[in-house]
Structure 1
C-alpha cells in the first residue's frame, strides 16, 4: 500500500475515535499507543479496521489480527483489544475481563488465541461489554449477582477454566451439549409479540447464533421489520422504531447469550437469572453494546414454571426480551404483555 494511502487510513481511524476520554485520560493520551498499534497492523488489516469503525459494526467485518506478544511494551501498556475498544466504543474501559468476545469472531472460544506468540483479534466490534451489577443494586440490575463475571474465554487463567466447566487439560465439559442435540437441530424458536398479540409465525433457529432486527444493512436472521400487522398503535410504532439492529442471540457452551446491538436498552427475563427459590423470574436491563447470559444450562434443571396474575403461565425453558421498555414493580407496565414489542425465545428441551 502506498504510504499516502496508509496515512489516510490512519487519519480516518483517528477521526472516528470516541469524543469523551476516560477518567484518567487527557486529550490525546492514547494517541502514541494507538499510532504504534496502527503501524504494526498489516495493510489489509488496517483497511478492515477502518471498515469496522466507520460502519460502527452495522455489517459483518473481518478479524483484525495482532500478535499476543504485542500486548506488552513500553509504548502500549494496554492490550490491543482494550485500547481499540476505549478508542471507539467505551472510553471508561479498563480491563480485558470486562469484555466478552462475540461468536462471529475467529478468536471466540480460543481460536487464534492459544499458545505463545499466537495472534488475537482486536476488532472492537467483535467484542461486547459484559453487563455488570450496579452499586447499590436497584430492584432490577444489568446482570444477576448470581451469574459468573465471564471474561474472554481465550484470556482466562487456568483456575477460571476449572471453575467454569473446563478440566485441568483444558478440555471442555460442555453443559450445553444435551441442549444442542435435538432431533431436527433446532435449538430454539422465536415468537414476536406486540402487547398480547403474536405477530407472524414461529421462527426456528438452527444456526448457533441468530440476528433479530428491524434494520440491519447487511446480514441475515429474523427480520421483525418484515412482519405485518393489521393495526399498530402509536406506542408499538415508536417502540419498533427503536429496535434498529436489534440483538444477537447465541447458543454457547455455558448457555444462551444476548448481545444488544441496538441503540436502546433491552429488558430480559429468564428463570435462571434470579436466585434459587425466587417467587418469579427477575427483569434485567442490558444497555447498548453489552452482553448478558440470559439462560444458564447448568441452573436450568429442576426449574418449575411460574404463573403471575395477568401475565399467564411462564415456561421454565423460555426467555422473554422487551425492546426499549421495561416491566415489573418499578414500571407502570407490570407485565410483559403491556410492553409494545417483545420477543419470546422458546428453548428446545433436551429429550
Structure 2
C-alpha cells in the first residue's frame, strides 16, 4: 500500500448543523448548573494512589453512614480485584462514596439483592444526577485505561461488579425495565450494574460471490462497472439527511442509540437462521452459482499512519485493543496510545511544530459492537473525512466533518459496510475494489481543510492521520480473490 493515501478531487467542508450544535451547548449549560464544590474535586490525601473517581460523591453532604458488614458484602462481589492493589483501594473508595450518596436507605439492600441474584428484575439503585455530571478520571493503576479516559459512576460500578475491561458508556445498553437509566435525563440516575447489558456485535451475514471464473455480465452490468474513482454505490436510507444530521455528533452525556444491541440469545438465533439459509442451494448471480464469504475479525482491528503535510512520519501503529487514544504526548510503548509527541521528523515545519503542541489529549477511538466511534478529547476540534459516515448521511463522499471538543461521532459500521458490499458485488470487480476507500478514514488535528479553508486537501494540513480498518479490508480482499478480473469478463 502506498505511503500517500487516496485523495478526492473535491473536498467539501460541512459544519455541524445548527440544531446539533445547540443540542451540545444545552448540555454544557446544564453542566454549569452544578455547584462549584462538585465541579472542583478536593484532594484530601497526598498518597500517590489517590484517585478523583467519584470525587463528586465524596464532596457532597453524606446521606448515610457506612455499616462495616454492608461494605464487606459489597466488596466481596468485585470482579478480578487483587487484595491491597491499586484497584482494591480505588474500588473500595468508590463503593464507600456510593453508599453515602444513595437517595434511599433501602437501596443498600436493593443493591445487595441485585449483586446476590445477578438479576435484572431488581429495583433501581439511584444517586443524584448532579453527582455524576462532571467527567472524572479513571483509576490510574489500570494501565489500559489510564490517562485521558473520563468515566462516570455508571461505568465505574459496572466495571467493579461486572465487566473489569469496560471502557465507556457507549459499550452499555440499559434494559427496558430501568426507568432511571442514564439516557433518560431524570434527576436520579440508576447505577445498578444489572440494569445494563453490554453491547454485542450483531451477526454479519456473508456476501455471495460467483464461484465460476467465467462469470457472465450483460452489457448493462458492464456499463455500470465503469464507475468513476470518486463515486460510490448509492444506498437507500429510511430517514432524511436533515434528521440524521441532528444526531451526527453527540455530547459525552448522550447515548449512541442509533444502533441496536443484541443479547447473546438474539445473536445466536440470528446466526442459526443464517446457517440454515446457507444450507439451502446456493443462490444464482446472473445464472452463475455463488458461494458465501463471511466476515472475520483480524488480530489488529485498525492500523494508523501519521503524516505531516504530505510526508509520512514514524512507523505504523497497529491497534489490538478496542479503545485507544491518539494524543500529542510521548509514551512510545503504550499499547492503548499512539503518542505523536515521540515521533521525530528532520523536515518538520514550524507550522507542524505549533500544531503538535496543541493536539494535547487528542482523539479517542472505540471499536464497539462492530462500530467505530471517534471522540474529541482535545481542547481544539478534530476534522474527519469518513466515506462511510458521509454515505450514511447522504453527503458528498469527500465531506469533512468537524467534531468539537468532548463530542463523538460514529465513523464506521460493519453492518452498513456489509450491506454496501453485498449490493456492490453485482457491479463487478472494479466497483468492489473502489470500496477500499470506505475502509480508510482521514483525520486532521487543530486545522481543517476543504472549500471553506485555504487548505484544500488534507495533505496541506500540518498534522493528520489515516486509519485503515483491517477487518473490512481483509473481507474485501477475500471477495476480490473470487471475482473475475476486469480483463477476463465478457459481455453478452
1:105 pairs with 2:227: no
The TM-score normalised by the length of structure 1 is 0.57
Confirm or deny: 8 A CA contact 2:373 2:410 kept in the other structure.
yes
Distance 1:144 1:106 in 2: 23
* Change over 3 Å in CA distance of 1:181–1:227 after alignment to 2: same
Confirm or deny: 8 A CA contact 1:272 1:281 kept in the other structure.
no
1:280 pairs with 2:280: no
1:285-324: CA deviation from partner (whole Å, max 9, x where unpaired): 22222222111222222486999xxxxx982211111011
Matches within 5 A, 1:251-270: 251-270=367-386
Aligned twin of 1:212: 326
Confirm or deny: 8 A CA contact 1:213 1:222 kept in the other structure.
yes
Matches within 5 A, 1:133-282: 144-145=245-246, 147=248, 164-166=260-262, 171=267, 181-182=297-298, 185-215=299-329, 220=335, 221-275=337-391, 278-282=395-399
TM-superposed CA distance for 1:145, in Å, is: 4.4
- Structure 2 alignment gaps of length 5 or more: 1-27, 39-55, 76-89, 106-124, 137-151, 160-164, 179-189, 195-241, 272-293, 425-430, 479-492
Distance 2:315 2:34 in 1: 52
Look at both structures and tell me which one has the larger radius of gyration over its CA atoms. 2
Give the length in aligned residue pairs. 269
* Change over 3 Å in CA distance of 1:281–1:104 after alignment to 2: farther
The TM-score normalised by the length of structure 2 is 0.43
1:126-153: CA deviation from partner (whole Å, max 9, x where unpaired): xxxxxxxxxxxxxxx9x94475979999
Aligned twin of 1:341: 463
Aligned twin of 1:297: 414
* Change over 3 Å in CA distance of 1:84–1:265 after alignment to 2: farther
Distance 2:102 2:91 in 1: 20
Instruction: Report the 3-state secondary structure (helix = DSSP H, G, I; strand = E; otherwise coil) of the residue aligned with 2:387.
Output: coil
Distance 1:84 1:235 in 2: 42
Distance 1:284 1:38 in 2: 47
Distance 1:111 1:22 in 2: 23
Aligned twin of 1:35: 61
Instruction: Report the 3-state secondary structure (helix = DSSP H, G, I; strand = E; otherwise coil) of the residue aligned with 1:256.
Output: strand
TM-superposed CA distance for 1:271, in Å, is: 0.9
* Change over 3 Å in CA distance of 1:119–1:106 after alignment to 2: farther
1:139-189: CA deviation from partner (whole Å, max 9, x where unpaired): xx9x94475979999x99xxx69x625269665879xxx76622xx12211
Instruction: Report the 3-state secondary structure (helix = DSSP H, G, I; strand = E; otherwise coil) of the residue aligned with 1:257.
Output: strand
Confirm or deny: 8 A CA contact 2:363 2:376 kept in the other structure.
yes
Question: 262-271 or 31-40, which moves further after superposition?
Answer: 31-40
Distance 2:467 2:132 in 1: 30
Distance 1:38 1:87 in 2: 22
Distance 1:29 1:214 in 2: 31
Instruction: Report the 3-state secondary structure (helix = DSSP H, G, I; strand = E; otherwise coil) of the residue aligned with 1:262.
Output: coil
Greater RCO, 1 or 2 (C-alpha within 8 Å, sep 6+):
2
Query: What is the RMSD computed on CA atoms of the aligned residues?
Result: 5.3
* Change over 3 Å in CA distance of 1:231–1:317 after alignment to 2: same
1:86 pairs with 2:138: no
Distance 2:173 2:246 in 1: 29
